[in-house]
Amino acid sequence: MMEYFASTRSGIAATIHDVLGAYGETYGAVSADLGVDAANRLADFASRGKMLRGSLVRLGYELITRHEAAEPDATAIRLAGAAMELFQSGLLVHDDIMDRDRVRRGYPTLHVGYESTLESGGYDDPPHYGEALGICAGDLAYFAAFQLLAELPTSAARAVRATLIAARELCVVGIAQMQDVVNGAVRRDSANPFRDAPTDPSEEDILKLYRYKTGRYTFSLPLALGCALASGGDAERLTLEQAGEDLGVLFQLKDDELGLFADEAALGKPVGADIREDKKTIFRHRLMSRADGQTKARLATIFGRHDAGSAEAEFVRGELERLGIRAELTAMMRSRAEAALARMKPLLDQAPVGTAQAFSQLVAYSLERTS
């Protein structure tokens, strides 16, 4: 990835290993079998990511202060970045269980790793108990992240503000994730048991989900954490959060596209999972809205079929291309990118050259990434 983010990534990765190494001693006092082992598994899992969210904490700080951080703020930024990556790890661990994914970033998912460990010891029902251990490890990642924020080497006011911002956004992500799960459980004969409303989400509903499940969490939250550590004002934070929402919707649309069209080796997990789980993406929504009767009937037998394979995925891709839906959503992504840059222009005009370039490169990366 871009040099700015690559250089920040290495510091965050080292911080994650250092922090979890220290926290693991406490965990190990509780369980010699599981404590240090869980800390090590989480550190390895978190360190395999791009660490985009963690790096955005630094970017948010520099956009507000207009300079690179000196100590002790530099350490606080790395620790807050590590907390963001632990939040992300917890969400991914749980997401893999919910989505029945067994591969993440080219490696077995965390719960599958536990499954294999239990199986090697001859334990009962490794798949079930592996998932249970994965859920516990995901929880541990959240709690460790909040401990990190509470211990930041900065003023108490900044640490509290950063912790409150993170707590608020993580709660919102939790509700959005619940909505995503329910959307995936909808079938043709389902009736909404929660309120008097259709079960299939509208495009507006899907965009709202993207905003809260991905946009604010992936971009708005880490940028806002950086702003908090820089003692930025509410107006500056709001600008960062709104630009983050634009980038987040773009990022989720790209995720949806990659989940259908990416090279599997580059993606690091099987392509077509959204089809098998019947994720209510905008790609699916527009496809089901526009397909003719015969095609729609066939699509209805594909989405939500857990054994749907390459032939089914190829059929879905072909229809998305034929109906022009992929091209339309590519244009929507570009529009979101332009909106984010426009919102950020006043801050970018006053930011250090490297910081401004990093934001622009992030926008370009979000449009062009292949994994």
For 233-249, b/e burial (b = at least 16 CB within 10 A) is eeebbebbbbbbbbbbb
Fold entry, domain 3-368: Farnesyl Diphosphate Synthase (1.10.600)
Helices within 99-233 (DSSP H only): 110-120, 126-150, 156-185, 203-210, 221-229
In angstroms, the Cα distances linking 45 to 108, 148, 232 are 10, 18, 32
Backbone phi, then psi, for 31, in 5-degree steps? Answer: -145, 115
At 170-210, the pLDDT tens digits run 999 999 999 999 998 888 889 999 999 999 999 999 999 99
pLDDT in tens, the chain (371 residues): 578 999 999 999 999 999 999 999 999 999 999 999 999 999 999 999 889 999 999 999 999 999 999 999 999 999 999 999 999 999 999 999 998 889 998 899 999 999 999 999 999 999 999 999 999 999 999 999 999 999 999 999 999 999 999 999 999 999 999 999 999 888 888 999 999 999 999 999 999 999 999 899 999 999 999 999 999 999 999 999 999 999 999 999 999 999 999 887 777 667 788 898 888 999 999 999 999 999 999 999 999 898 999 999 999 999 999 999 999 999 999 999 999 999 999 999 999 999 999 999 999 999 999 88
Q: How is residue 86 written in tokens?
A: 């632990």
Return the pLDDT at 128.
98
Instruction: State the Cα angle at 159 between 74 and 53, rounded to 5°.
Output: 60
Cβ atoms of 310 and 272 within 8 Å: the answer is: yes
d(CA 76, CA 149): 9
Cis peptide before 346 (omega within 30 of 0): no
Domain boundaries along the sequence of the chain: 3-368
Q: Rounded distance, CA 212 to CA 253, Å? A: 13
Nearest Cα residue to 296 out of 315, 314, 309: 315
Is the torsion defined by CA of 166, 169, 175, 177 positive or negative? negative
Q: How far is CA 246 from CA 162, 243, 350, in A?
A: 22, 5, 21
Query: How many angstroms separate the CA atoms of 79 and 224, rounded?
Result: 15
Query: At residue 129, what is the residue type?
Result: Y
DSSP type of residue 219: I
End-to-end Cα, the chain, rounded Å: 11
- Distance between CA atoms of 363 and 345, rounded to whole angstroms? 13
- Amino acid present at 31: S
* The model's pTM: 0.92
74 contacts 226 by C-beta, under 8 angstroms: no
What is the distance between the alpha carbons of residues 222 and 246, in angstroms, rounded to a whole number?
14
Token pair, residue 164, equals 């409150």
Q: What is the pLDDT of residues 83-128, one digit of tens each?
A: 999 999 999 999 999 988 899 988 999 999 999 999 999 999 999 9
